[in-house]
Amino acid sequence: MCIYQVYFKFRVIYTKWIFCSFKVLRSLIEGDALFERTLFLWWRSQWSVSLVLLSLRKGLLSMPLDSPSAALAELFAKARTKPLNEMTAQEVRAGASKLRAMYGQGPEMGSVHEVAVESGEQTIEARLLVPQSPPRALIVYFHGGGWVTGHIDDFDVLARKLAQRSSCAVLLVNYRLAPEYRFPAAIDDATNALQWAATQGQLLLGAASPLPLIVAGDSAGGNIAAVVARWARDKGQPEIAAQVLLYPVTDADFARPSYVDPQLQPLLTGEMMRWYWDHYLPDAVQRQHPDASPLLAQDLRGLPPTLLITAEYDPLRDEGEAYAARLVAAGVPTEFERYLGQFHGFASFVNMLPGSAAAIEHIGQFIDHRLAR
């Protein structure tokens, strides 16, 4: 059994033996203020998430980068001609688009609709993928790429697999990219896309009653999804049934341990993230705005049930897990998972990394659970 599958099973049994483990008990006793907060969260009923977060913080769970991921990281390292900070946004986008051929083909859909979404004075593209089975919900998906790269064509195979597994329609949003369109252009596009999904999207799907809405995204797209979910909560509409955040950007704090440890950065590095932030939002003060750094939002209560996935080898790992801890503290039903032995972006490498298939199955199970309630 591969390591991501081990951990995928691990979260189910972990809480059954954790208090029987002397090693864990000792680490708790020797812990810092995090232990007191985690113990409090345990009594808040989200104890399994809190204990997993604590044990990860203590370094009790770790695995080497798995073989397929290590081979792919080595391939990318050899193909890199110059550092990211010496490249233009156009050069980075051109390199990212070459990956499309590596993903292969996605499953056939019942229908595919290329649509236009009005966003202020702009019009953005979106793609509505409808599975062959009647859709149970509508997922609004925001792609990753550091707010600088990424296109719906790059994420088409991932979205098709997600639509097939979840039996949900998926709306891929081509939000505007930096540096041509800096913050908050992507957020404006995302909120308008969500409103489109709640109105025209529902009409296009032709369901007898409105389908539940789910927001989802990876990396920078996870950042956008988190902001949009809070925006919908504050606005009171549309109602969001769940949010799925894959290794999201939640803060601009470059001093976190996962940001400064080069051993955790086989693909995305801390320096790369600084480059992305400089293109998206150069003003360091504005980065503290909760629409840029959702971890800094004052109140997370009332947000939709959340699945938050991080990768062990990722500079964004710590800020994603900090956001999971805050969701738990706010009483938000939260399912958290750190995928051991995986690097940043692993879920996007469909048909390439087995970890991607595991993540898609995990998302499908989460959606099954939420829609069954």
Q: Is 261 a catalytic residue?
A: no
Catalytic residue among 66, 291, 314, 318: 314
Length of the chain counted residue by residue = 373
Q: How far apart are CA 370 and CA 373, in angstroms?
A: 6
Burial of 217 per CB tally in 10 Å (0-12, 13-18, 19+)? buried
154 is catalytic: no
Angle between helical axes of 67-79 and 354-371 (0-180°, round to 10): 120
Catalytic residue among 279, 289, 344, 362: 344
> Quick check: is 279 catalytic?
no
The answer to whether residues 196 and 190 touch, using CB atoms and an 8 Å cutoff, is: no
* Angle in degrees, 0-180, between the axes of helices 33-41 and 317-329, rounded to the nearest 10: 50
Q: Give the distance between the most distant pair of CA atoms in the chain.
A: 61
Interatomic CA distance for residues 176 and 182, integer angstroms: 8
Active-site residue identified among 166, 219, 258, 356: 219
Positions annotated as catalytic residues are 219, 314, 344
